[in-house]
Amino acid sequence: MNEAIGLLETKGLIASVEAADAMLKSANVTLVKQINIGAAFITTVIKGDVGSVRAAVDSGAAAASKVGELVSAHVIPRPEAGLMKNFI
């Protein structure tokens, strides 16, 4: 299994939407969920193969930084089988 999870956290809705758009356009990834954490923090979760997720997270981070505040970006290659249950 060569799947990965990408997480990108932003402060503000506009940065979140811009990042999600960039990630989905830049690589063959799937949007799993956008989680509103509170206090304007939003985490976007994507999945796909490791290379695509890395490219998508890099692209999303750059896009979010241009229009808002990027808080964090992270890629988890080959996640444990039960981890995705937390996002679905």
pLDDT surpassing 80 at residue 21: yes
Q: Measuring CA to CA, which residue among 71, 76, 21 is closest to residue 47?
A: 76
CATH superfamily of 3-86: BMC (bacterial microcompartment) domain (3.30.70.1710)
Give the per-residue pLDDT at 2: 83
The percentage of the chain sitting over the pLDDT mark of 70, rounded to a whole number, equals: 97
Cross-strand pairs, 3: 49
> 88 pLDDT band (50/70/90 cuts)?
low
Average pLDDT, the chain: 94
pLDDT at 74 over 70: yes
